[in-house]
A and B are shown apart, each in its own frame.
Chain A
């Protein structure tokens, strides 16, 4: 056998176009905002619509982020994810109604405490429901997409019926806490206070998730598991336990999203989770199945496109997100931030 060479390669710099390629999806959101600015005649309207789009996108991201990780890690398609949104909204609304004296008080501190209590209760309940859902409904159908679709749809129906039993079938109106009603004026634009809060919460959730995924060993295991769960096991990590943890966290985040959506719409219905799931699926698909960053960009894109289109051409608003999905999948068939999966 010949003497082994040192095999120490040198680095070369890629052309600028190649280096920028992975960042193109990130540029999509500012490009969309710029296009919106050019298309919308009034800058104050543009600012209001942009905030509305970002707030909507952040809420969808909070809901969809857990679902995309669940799919990425264990290849599980969970059509029952909407149940956690609805349950979160109903539990959170119940807490907010019970804390009516706090939400009605003109005190930002009391209002935020009431929302925090509602969010914690919703996340605890939906997290626990997620644990049961994974054990009873999802675990027996690992590896079979058709069975997953059927069984998780069934789980969604059961969950909706449970909400009927517990809260009744009628709509529940929920007013926003006193200090979060109305808008502030900035550069001539009316910016709803609650939307500003939703953007803040969404950003905190995204940055926290990113920090956990990028800077902790657990995040490393999750990212590796999304790509090749078998190899993660062969390295000594129990991927099933990690998956259960992600499923619970994803369910709890859907519960948080449910509370946020309830306060956004100011009314909740039994089927609200199911209705939002259409947007959630679009976001998960265009983001790249299993990618949190892609999910974030996808959610903001969906929120902005829906709001700009509703203002510029209301008749097209209904199909705008489907058209967006078609366009993005033609550009990037695996989604904006595709996840490499082991064969």
Chain B
């Protein structure tokens, strides 16, 4: 495994009176896709939100390229170079597609060449460029959410269940865009329940259960061991 871009060490997070993460530790390697898998309620989304600073850690350390980020506010964490695609997509419905993308460009405005790349991956965003994002379909909103993270080069992408609730054709479009992102050497930490998508994109895997990491390894190792899949996630990847 190459040097990690992101490391979590014994991270504990509470939401209100509930202890959600009980000491999460794992690494996200540079230039690879790490899948964070696990049953519903295992703490995957909480882990991503904790990395972004949207929920504060009670204990533990999070480092990005060796620098601690767990005490930073979310805006500063984002400016360290993390692109975040939340589970609910986080689209600004009252803003147009163009305005959503412009907002994500911290340098001021999106680079035209990069924008063309986004349109090539998601043609619908060109069609609806000047339409309110609230009028888009669920799949188009997810495209916009991912496009927003891609509008500038990021050190790391945190993507939470991009295929959730979407039709297979839309999932295929998203998968193609994410494969392109991966091919460009992006570092990605992704939560995904769609096992075939996870298997197609993932290089590494961290499996969570009850707020802890219970297994880490390569996707190839997990995919080759049905008994391990069954024990960790309660399913077989080739049956999913």
Contacts and interface: CB of A to CB of B under 8 A. Distances in A.
Interface stretch (A1-9, A90-98, A172-180, A269-277): A1-9
A7 B123 contact: yes
A2 B128 CA distance: 25
A7 B86 contact: no
B90 A234 contact: yes
A18 to B, nearest CB: 11
Interface stretch (B4-12, B172-180, B222-230): B172-180
A278 interface: no
A9 B88 contact: no
B93 A340 contact: yes
A1 B200 contact: yes
A9 B52 contact: no
B94 A340 contact: yes
A11 B124 CA distance: 10
B196 interface: yes
Contact of A227 (B53, B76, B93): B93
A223 to B, nearest CB: 6
Given A7-B123, A9-B127, A342-B88, A239 B99 contact: no
Given A220-B103, A340-B93, A340-B134, A234 B169 contact: no
Given A1-B175, A237-B75, 4 more contacts: A7-B123, A10-B127, A228-B92, A233-B73
B123 A8 contact: yes
Do most interface residues of chain B lie in helix, strand or loop, or is the interface mixed? helix
A239 B94 CA distance: 18
Contacts, number: 100
Q: How large is the interface on A (under 10, 10 to 19, 20 to 34, 35 or more residues)?
A: 20 to 34
A260 B199 CA distance: 66
A1 B172 contact: yes
A118 B114 CA distance: 50
Interface string A132-144: 0000000000000
B108 interface: yes
Interface in A206-265: 217, 220-221, 223-224, 226-228, 230-239
A339 interface: yes
Contacts of A234: 52, 54, 74, 78, 84, 86, 90
B94 A227 contact: yes
A238 B76 CA distance: 8
Most chain B beta-carbon contacts within 10 A, residue among A4, A11, A224, A235: A235
A230 B104 CA distance: 14
Interface of A: 1-11, 217, 220-221, 223-224, 226-228, 230-239, 339-340, 342-343
B170 interface: yes
Nearest to B149: A235
Contact of A7 (B102, B104, B170, B197): B170
Given A8-B124, A236-B106, A342-B90, A2 B78 contact: no
Interface residues of B, number: 42
Do most interface residues of chain A lie in helix, strand or loop, or is the interface mixed? loop
A226 B103 CA distance: 14
Nearest to A339: B94
Given A223-B94, A342-B88, A8 B75 contact: no
Contact of A231 (B76, B92, B172): B92
Nearest to A240: B73
A3 B94 contact: no
A197 B78 CA distance: 46
Contacts of A230: 54, 74, 90
Interface string B174-204: 0110000000000000000000110010000
A330 B30 CA distance: 56
B179 to A, nearest CB: 10
B100 to A, nearest CB: 8
Contacts of B139: 7
A224 B132 CA distance: 12
B54 A223 contact: no
B79 A220 contact: no
A103 to B, nearest CB: 43
A4 B95 contact: no
Contacts of A342: 88, 90
Contacts of B124: 7-9
Contacts of B86: 231, 234
A233 B73 CA distance: 8
B165 interface: no
Given A1-B200, A5-B169, A7-B169, A236 B94 contact: no
